[in-house]
Structure 1
């Protein structure tokens, strides 16, 4: 299994990276990127801690011990084991300070491996090439090296008032093909964490008007000739671990990637040319990303509850009954998210490839619940803190013997050491009152699919249709006969391979 040291060494591979106005010569050592590179290295090193061996690793069918990110859940209990792995990563990496850690990025390939045939059979413009061997070989390459493939599916924002604008977009598109592979040019506007990855998992989300040339799914090395990564300004606080315990862990960055006549060999092409395929399957590959997202949000809700308990205990307001009632909202928030996670596992189903998959609607609407409530509860937490979230001394002021007696008195409460309140306040400030924290909140809001899109895509799931069985009870109560479900109905017209990734009802 890969070590953190090996990961950091691999980052110095000549990749072209800009952060703000500065060119980054080595992602592992540059002050603007080294902290998050170190956090990702910590992810790899977690797998080598003896006390975490049973949680972080498994022994595969060939007797090889591997990272749990490659573990295939085949029943309810093994899915729970996978969740405990995700939770352990989250708890050891700042309760979600790295939303797109390698285990999250690579989870996309669970669906590729589970059912690779449609990716090849539905392709257009491959001259009959079988892409399945390349898909499986690439996934083997990732697994054998414990590599990290960052997700790059989001296209530039175009004129949404007309479908024809999509064809005019600077999207990544196929420029040419030959016997060896394809050449692509264009832009992917958001590829979170691509700077810290080994490969770019190139893909396409369907939009009205997308052209065949813009449908490209492939694996591209982060240092491939013609690839340039342009990043926004970094929000991390490098070297400020005491004052900024969270943001000092680095910024995973949100990357715009330019592909300037990039060659991709056929064995790294996963799908090509079919907008209809892109309207079905790519949403399904993100199901595993979004399952981990609701686990992450559950862990973050636990953090918020703990912070609310600690700060009200330190300030003494927890003794006031109305304050305890307000804190109880965080209990309900955490428990409801946990209920979505547990229920999705309990009501899972088997995919065509023999993977036990959690109930998609249950974890997706867990994400909706989080997004609908997080802003309100953030404001509630800050209100419970009072000035403790904003007015507190720096470490240098605290250590000043002239100020110390006064500052200790200001930070004293019924329990705990005065300096502990500073530590609590710093975490709250970083998470909920900083550029770093605001970016984290924005990421959750747009991670893969925002609320409106989650709801819209729900209606496109195989089992949600007026013509489908979900409406049978209502038909029975209304005294309406069940339809014959002709082929024209949306329920049966959905691509079979997509339906089988939705739920057992799709079979």
Structure 2
């Protein structure tokens, strides 16, 4: 195997460095002027050449962009918005790319790190935390839309009063609201840098929030598809709906419950097909890092000393007193004595 799977420094010159390798899944690259390149994992002394960070124009010599195929080609139209209500908005502009660096020269004034492998872990972790906070920001409205879509399909299909449907809707609301609160907590309880006092997103809450969304996303799509029904697998297209010969049949046989226009139901069904299928199903799981990446951060951020000390305290095992937080905790009986008035010992039965 070659050494270029990760981007690395292949030459150091008087006026700059030369890098080789590739970066993948980089969003909106084709629409950007420059890229800021960072290490994506922890590197050791033996692979210090991979610990590199710099800024580079995307039209620099030696850079090749290989873009992912968009779901929608060309500008959004009335037809594409009907058929692909989500992809028509996102499929054109997102444009993930593989960025290939084929012996690209980077001037020293644009290099932020070169071989300082000791800092690669901190950069990767901090970038991941900020990136997942961004994920929380974009996922909150997505979960609200999906919860609303499930409720809308239940209404349009006349199922909103069935207990098993209400149970699914209740679960969707539960996860959505819990995710919103956890995402907010990631900002409301920041972690401050010791030297600079800069505030960063709370690492534990950010990763829990992102994991909560990704872990439950397929259950979201399952419930929405279940409530929508099999018609979401082969929904009516814009061209069919606009065809004057077909439309009377569609109006007659695909109408919603009384009072709901057939067009509204068909538009909602197209949204189900678009939002719960295609690349979105994979994108929501792996964007901003896989599920395992978040679990690794839970383990790293957890205060295992505190958890163990609490267990020792409850079990009567010595050693809990040494923990700075648990060791200073008062006994419940002592707290009650402080709050309650003294007993009246003069009273006799």
Computing the radius of gyration from Cα coordinates, the structure with the larger value is 2
- Alpha carbons of structure 1 residues 228 and 311: separation in structure 2 relative to 1, 3 Å: same
Secondary structure of the 2:288 match is: coil
Match in the other structure for 1:362 = 205
Match in the other structure for 2:71 = 235
The C-alpha deviation readout for 1:373-424, integer Å capped at 9, x for no partner, is 1111211110100034234322222222332222112223233211111211
Match in the other structure for 2:310 = 473
1:296: Cα distance to partner? Answer: 2.0
Match in the other structure for 1:411 = 255
Match in the other structure for 1:298 = 140
Structure 2 unaligned residues grouped into runs of 5+: 325-349
CA RMSD in angstroms comes to 2.5
Match in the other structure for 1:185 = 20
Structure 1 unaligned residues grouped into runs of 5+: 1-164, 486-507
Decide whether the 8 Å contact of 2:37 with 2:54 is kept in 1.
yes
Match in the other structure for 1:222 = 58
Decide whether the 8 Å contact of 2:215 with 2:285 is kept in 1.
no
* TM-score normalised by structure 2 residue count: 0.81
Match in the other structure for 1:460 = 300
- Alpha carbons of structure 1 residues 483 and 181: separation in structure 2 relative to 1, 3 Å: farther
- Alpha carbons of structure 1 residues 206 and 336: separation in structure 2 relative to 1, 3 Å: same
Match in the other structure for 2:330 = none
Matched, 1:394 2:237: yes
Secondary structure of the 1:285 match is: helix
The C-alpha deviation readout for 1:155-190, integer Å capped at 9, x for no partner, is xxxxxxxxxx7x834432212223322121222233
Distance 1:362 1:381 in 2: 27
Matched, 1:282 2:118: no
Matched, 1:195 2:30: yes
1:470: Cα distance to partner? Answer: 5.4
- Alpha carbons of structure 1 residues 299 and 464: separation in structure 2 relative to 1, 3 Å: same
Distance 2:215 2:6 in 1: 32
1:331: Cα distance to partner? Answer: 0.8
Distance 2:3 2:110 in 1: 26
341-350 or 261-270: which moved more?
A: 341-350
Decide whether the 8 Å contact of 1:315 with 1:414 is kept in 2.
no
2:156 to 314, 326, 351: 314
Decide whether the 8 Å contact of 2:4 with 2:22 is kept in 1.
no
- Alpha carbons of structure 1 residues 296 and 170: separation in structure 2 relative to 1, 3 Å: closer
Distance 1:203 1:236 in 2: 30
2:264 to 392, 399, 420: 420
Matched, 1:350 2:186: no
353-362 or 269-278: which moved more?
A: 353-362
Decide whether the 8 Å contact of 1:193 with 1:253 is kept in 2.
yes
* TM-score normalised by structure 1 residue count: 0.57
Decide whether the 8 Å contact of 1:181 with 1:264 is kept in 2.
yes
- Alpha carbons of structure 1 residues 186 and 393: separation in structure 2 relative to 1, 3 Å: closer
Distance 2:255 2:156 in 1: 9
- Matches for 1:137-286 after TM superposition, within 5 Å: 168-206=3-41, 211-238=47-74, 239=76, 240-249=80-89, 250-251=91-92, 252-286=94-128
Match in the other structure for 1:490 = none
- Alpha carbons of structure 1 residues 464 and 402: separation in structure 2 relative to 1, 3 Å: same
1:482: Cα distance to partner? Answer: 5.4
Q: How many residues align?
A: 313
Secondary structure of the 2:112 match is: strand
- Alpha carbons of structure 1 residues 310 and 343: separation in structure 2 relative to 1, 3 Å: same
Decide whether the 8 Å contact of 1:368 with 1:454 is kept in 2.
yes
Distance 2:207 2:304 in 1: 17
Secondary structure of the 1:413 match is: coil
Decide whether the 8 Å contact of 1:206 with 1:275 is kept in 2.
no
The C-alpha deviation readout for 1:255-308, integer Å capped at 9, x for no partner, is 211112211112211111133321233211331221121232221110111101
The C-alpha deviation readout for 1:105-132, integer Å capped at 9, x for no partner, is xxxxxxxxxxxxxxxxxxxxxxxxxxxx
Distance 1:349 1:215 in 2: 25
Distance 1:198 1:185 in 2: 20
Decide whether the 8 Å contact of 1:371 with 1:451 is kept in 2.
yes
